[in-house]
Homo-oligomer: A and B are copies of this chain.
Amino acid sequence: MRRFVVLGRTATAGADFSLDDLPGSSGRLDVLLRCVRAALLLSHGLRRDTAIYLVLQGGPLAPRTIRIDGRTAEYLRPDERSLAGAVRNLLGRDHSALRGLAFGESTRGVAIALGGLDAVLADLAEGAGTAFTPYMLDEGPGARDVREAPIDLEHPVFFVGDHLGFDDDARARLEALGAQRLSLGPVSVHADDAIVLLANELDRRGCG
């Protein structure tokens, strides 16, 4: 199982955004929605071997995290507006019954938790076992080219920053976790492009 975790520094955790102006009203949730398509959708199919977490750290309801699991996901459409509508519906529901950092019941593969990176790490420890291997998409010193780096093909977890990159706290926590830095090439690309490039490398290595 491949897992991607996209950390949205400003993406809203509430439903108070407009589908007619996603970039301007949602704290750039559009960046994260494009990552959903990149991670889960194929030409005429859905990647059943992939899950993605969207960590929403913007607005008064933050942090919240949405998890979409390809094993059980249904009716995912590739266009931003459809994805935004589905996320807005989920964010607008009553989640007062949720306890602690646990994800609630999954509906068509989609679930939510009232926490950020904490909730993701708790879920990963439970879902992937302690054996998951964390990687962070991060340029700079110590990063290894994804084409050359050894990658755990059983339980890899890739942490990806949004258009603002990782904040200091997230970076420190990922480093403490032992996350290995991966780079993707000589040019700095969008988060969804990073996921496309990673997925292709995993496909080529027979991961899944």
Q: Is A189 engaged at the interface, CB distance under 8 Å to the other chain? A: yes
Say yes or no for A196: interface residue by CB 8 A criterion. yes
CB <8 Å contact, B30 and A79: yes
CB distance from A156 to the nearest CB of B (A): 16
Name the B residues within 8 Å of A185 (CB-CB): 200, 203-204
A42 within 8 A of B: yes
Known contacts A38-B193, A196-B193, A197-B200; decide if A188 and B78 are in contact (CB<8 Å): no
Total contacting residues, chain A, CB less than 8 A? 35
Distance between A166 CB and nearest chain B CB, rounded to angstroms: 13
Is A42 a contact of B189 with CB atoms below 8 Å?
yes
**Min C-beta distance of A79 to chain B, whole Å:** 5
Contact with B along A19-33 (1 / 0, CB 8 A): 111110000001100
**Contact status of A188 and B43, CB under 8 A, knowing A23-B77, A196-B193:** yes
Per-residue 0/1 for A60-92: is the Cβ within 8 Å of any B Cβ (1 yes, 0 no)? 000000000000000001111110000000000
Residues of B near A190 (CB, < 8 A) are 37, 41-43, 78
**Residue A187 at the B interface, CB < 8 A?**
yes
By a CB distance below 8 angstroms, the chain B residues around A188 are 42-45
Query: Inside 8 A of A204's CB, which chain B residues have their CB?
Result: 185-186
User: A22's contact among B81, B193, B203, by CB below 8 Å, is which?
Assistant: B81
Residues from chain B with Cβ under 8 Å of A51 in the complex = none
Question: A144 near B: Cβ within 8 Å?
Answer: no
Q: How far is the CB of A73 from chain B (nearest CB, A)?
A: 16
CB 8 Å contact bits of A164-208 with B (1 = contact, 0 = none): 000000000000000000001111111001001100100110000
Interface residues of A (CB under 8 A from B): 19-23, 30-31, 34, 37-38, 41-45, 77-82, 163, 184-190, 193, 196-197, 200, 203-204
